[in-house]
Structure 1
């Protein structure tokens, strides 16, 4: 429910054209703090974005995503592509911010109020008189670490930024004729046949000589290099390590048991009550409600004078048709089953007591508490292990920040070795050889973190063999490491890689032979279709039903000119080989319903508006002289 608050769903369409996660420009980083020696990685309208800005913003967003998606693979967030995406988002946000300022785009109080009212989580806090439950609103935002003032300021800014491209995207229009023409072509189906010329089938035909292999080696030297590698040591501080170092005394366990006996029972207290209800909904006129209240008070006086008559009075006086016949009996119920006012009264009474008149949204109640059912409390011995685990978990969470500071200070102040941190905090020193600057495909833990590898392969770490700073991996985990030995990039000799050269050369030549054979057949079959042999059985494909066809084959089939049928197209399959596509028939989309037409129209308008938004953003980038100072990975 609260996700709608954080994401500002009303503006998702405007931001979708970038196909990225929501903006985080308003992280609150003071850029002046990080200015100075930090290099510039991008510039927008003369304003610099520094490496520190980039690092801190990416770290913030990665931590947020990890917290929201605990099962997410951290390697996805630490990859060069993910880091560069963070920079692109920063640039985009800066472009929108500058554009909004220069265009004097502001959000009025009325527009802000309408947007807030459209958020379901906030709309649900409306009282019967239409006013907002201010306390509930503040509590709702506090649960997300926000204040009303900060949230509304952020929402107002987002709305202003949304106007930058929103005003362009909202102008997208499409007439039925245009939509039908475009979507009919887009959803068109074609009957095709395919002939494949797979490179693997031509490997045996490749002729190899030493001269060819040496020439291939010389032309592709970069493929035959041994990347820089290092032997490294590292230590990890995580929540489990902190937890394992916690020792508990028996008195702490006993105290916890006494204070949490009800929770440890594994169930909820249940109460049984009877009530007498005098109907008086909130919509009832005030005078009638007062009369109902007076009637309830008279009934209360009656049963208070003779408690034994409660059930008989309930049968004749209670207006709750569901329980009156049973003397007002409501059976057993736990907390959360009744309206708050009723629950508060019922769970504050002693068994056998009768409450004063209780007002709720249904009217006025007189409550008799008839029974209390407590879940059995387990013995201390039976739950001692669970208590110990709970206490260790709680103390570890509280203690981690303190231990993390000690860890960070130790690896920094005694930078010549990780042993002091090992001894002081009881950590395990791990050694790994063959570590590379980029995470290996099978890398796990810290060695899958690009941030940690960047620190290990920094000049200071390689040249001086000093400890890295403590690197925060998120999820209560930190790591520090040092390079034990380093081997720079090395060019491997031809003799060392002869077999690999041969394999790559033969694979390359097999692709060439497959293409040549396919192109020859394509020329022959175009001239005389009757000679076509080896085509697979005919199938009907469409963009929404590719039938597992390679993308190159599907594109060739759907983009082929069909002035005359059959139509023939040849298409390369990359390292896989070559394919010939024969288009036999053109078939319309199968779904021609009115609902399909509406969906097609909406889809077309969204595609057009997205394209216009993207084009306008590119125009703004040129206008504000956007410069990226680091290459795309």
Structure 2
């Protein structure tokens, strides 16, 4: 065969083909041939620049991870709408590319030095000593699927886009007159009255006739179609049912205890006190000199350590207690502090030790080592641990057995008998879920309404509700959708019609009262059972009246020539009220601090409005092609 290939490769055609391949490699590289087999259009182009598939996939995966982390321990990846997620991520990438091109087109620039400073200062990339840790930096990025170069590029792009946004936020402004006017409006007060009509009282007076019920039912009978429902039979495995501490032998417990003793290492703990000379207004040299001076006075007997802590220590948590920190092991204190503490002898007073907080004087008072726990102390704990470990093994074995039995059985009877499990039933529920944790579980819902269970009458595979709980389900009864009769939905229609008629009746009463009061009639003459509730000099969002009335009171026009302004207002819960604004009081002076706060708020709003308009213009002008 090899000889045949060699002979055929000597021909003119073969040499021409090889020559063309060589030329292609030389001019375009090997990617030119690989690309022919793997050519795939970019998901989108923005002004001629492609958004790559790799970028889209990476951002989609990041978004998916965030969604799953928000779902918690029982997150189900199948619950994520992949199509919608991909579309949303692509839209975000397009918008980001438009903003990035705008920033680059204006010559904005971010230096490598600025990026380096931001990385070094990021607490997420710092080690226990508070300094930049390269290993932690790379590990953090790997956890989200990024390389250092990729992250630097993302950071650079984010800073570029932020520069353009900041240009708007730092240049937009509102005038002091606007802020002062807004402050006056905020401090304005109003004198108001209101009278309230109760929906509950109105409902008690409304009656619904049979003709009304029939007419409402006939309007749209389809709304009273039930949804398809199922009743499930199920058996469940719980790991907790396999836990049996009494079955654990003492020899097993003693063996586990001996293993613990072999691994046990006495942990040294040290009792210490300290005085913190905190970095503050003075220079670091002055603070260090003060610490050395206090140390000399303590050693000379002029001052006790406890008195020095009370007078000089900036650690408010320990200063009043002689600087006492109690017994502590390693891993509690900052590096230099801990290194010094565990190098000292009992009774020794340290030289000033510098940490990020300031200088410390440390006094070591006692050293002790933790003793190994006795067998009697560890017996109940080890017994529970061994029982839990055996239960897990038994649960896993039973789960495998359950999977085999439920797959081959025609119903749940065989697996239930083999594993000594009880067959249980649910109440009917629809595809939207039931009232219990089982019937509202997304995994159970998908299985229950799948073709295999709903139409083929099969058992489900074991559904793991958690790491320690699984069920096998089967459709016991399928309840098809049907049209409900008028008698079945009568209570719903009665409540619905009464609500509508009561609300409409209240509205008519309130509007009629507004009309009559506006014509100059008195409330007592119109209805002696109604009484005004009054509030003087009400502020915005005052708690002395319903929120809806307060809001409406400040939306109404200013009364003119001592003529009140009236309006009917619907309240939360369906009640109605008639509101009367009698007077408006403007403040003579406004709070300067409030004016300044409003000035900043107006500046931010102006900036946001201007930048939003800029983004809309960029999006309108951009040539975006989605593939």
> Given the two structures, how large is their TM-score scaled by the length of structure 1?
0.61
Question: Quick one: distance in 2 between partners of 1:66 and 1:622?
Answer: 36
Give the 5 Å matches for 1:492-571: 492-528=484-520, 530-531=522-523, 533-538=530-535, 541-547=538-544, 549-551=546-548, 553-564=549-560, 565-571=563-569
Q: Is the 8 A contact 2:125 2:133 kept in 1?
A: no
Do structure 1's residue 335 and structure 2's residue 329 form an aligned pair? Answer: yes
Q: 1:124-168 CA distances to partner (integer Å, 9 max, x unpaired)?
A: 9888xxx84545656787899987666555544554565686666
Cα distance, 1:476 vs structure 2 = 8.1
- The residue correspondences of 1:321-360 to structure 2 (distance < 5 A) are 321-322=297-298, 325=301, 333-335=327-329, 340=335, 343-344=338-339, 347=342
Q: How far, CA to CA, are the matches of 1:604 and 1:385 in structure 2? A: 66
TM superposition shift of 1:375: 4.2
> Secondary structure at the residue paired with 1:174?
coil
Match of 1:598 in 2: 596
Task: Decide which of 451, 460, 463 is 2:455's aligned counterpart.
Answer: 463
Cα–Cα, structure 1 residues 343 and 231, in superposed 2: closer, same or farther, change >3 Å?
Answer: same
More deviation in 572-581 or 607-616? 607-616
Q: Is the 1:235–1:430 Cα contact (8 Å) retained in structure 2?
A: yes
Task: Specify which of 478, 483, 504 is matched with residue 486 of structure 1.
Answer: 478
1:602 is displaced (CA, Å) by 2.7
Matched residue, 1:291:
none
**1:348–1:405 Cα change, 3 Å:** farther
* Mapped partners of 1:431, 1:320: distance in 2: 80
Query: Equivalent residue of 1:270, what SS?
Result: strand
CA distance in 1, matches of 2:613, 2:240: 50
> Structure 2 vs 1, CA of residues 272 and 576 (structure 1 numbering), >3 Å: closer, same or farther?
closer
Deviation at 1:524, TM superposition (A): 0.7
Is 1:253 the counterpart of 2:265? The answer is no
Q: Is the 8 A contact 1:96 1:164 kept in 2?
A: no
Contact preservation (8 Å) 1:411, 1:467 = no
CA distance in 1 between partners of 2:60 and 2:399 (Å): 20
C-alpha separation between the residues in 2 aligned to 1:491 and 1:585? Answer: 58
Q: Which runs of 5+ in 1 are unaligned?
A: 1-34, 36-44, 276-281, 285-315, 628-633
In structure 1, what is the equivalent of residue 369 of structure 2? 374
Q: Distance in 2 between matches of 1:151 and 1:604?
A: 35
2: CA distance, partners of 1:219 / 1:494: 12
Contact kept? 1:407, 1:470, Cα under 8 Å? no
Could you tell me whether the CA contact under 8 Å between 1:257 and 1:380 is conserved in 2?
no
Distance 1:455 1:340, change over 3 A: same
- 1:302 maps to what in 2? none
- SS state at 1:513 partner: helix
Query: Which residue in 1 is equivalent to 2:177?
Result: 177
Change (3 A) 1:352 1:523: closer
Q: Distance in 1 between matches of 2:224 and 2:609?
A: 42
Contact 1:243 1:395 (8 Å CA) reproduced: yes
Does residue 435 of the first structure (1) align with residue 438 of the second (2)? no
Separation in structure 1 between the aligned mates of residue 389 and residue 210 of structure 2, nearest angstrom: 68
How far apart in 1 are the matches of 2:544 and 2:405?
Answer: 56
Contact 2:120 2:132 (8 Å CA) reproduced: no
374-383 vs 409-418, which deviates more?
409-418
Q: What SS does the aligned partner of 2:173 have?
A: coil
Equivalent residue of 1:218, what SS? helix
Q: What is the SS of the residue equivalent to 1:113?
A: helix
Report the equivalent of 2:206. 206
Q: What RMSD over aligned residues (CA atoms) do the two structures have, in Å? A: 6.2
Are the counterparts in 2 of residues 236 and 478 from structure 1 also a CA contact under 8 Å?
yes
Shift of 1:381: 1.7
Alpha-carbon separation, structure 1, partners of 2:67 and 2:417? 31
**1:1-12 mapped onto 2 (5 Å cutoff):** none
| Aligned ranges 1:381-460 → 2 under 5 Å | 381-389=376-384, 431-439=425-433, 443-450=435-442, 452-454=444-446, 456-458=448-450
Instruction: Report the CA distance shift for 1:324/1:138 in structure 2 as closer, same or farther (over 3 A).
Output: farther
Change in 2 beyond 3 A, CA 1:421/1:102: farther
Q: Are the counterparts in 1 of residues 409 and 415 from structure 2 also a CA contact under 8 Å?
A: no
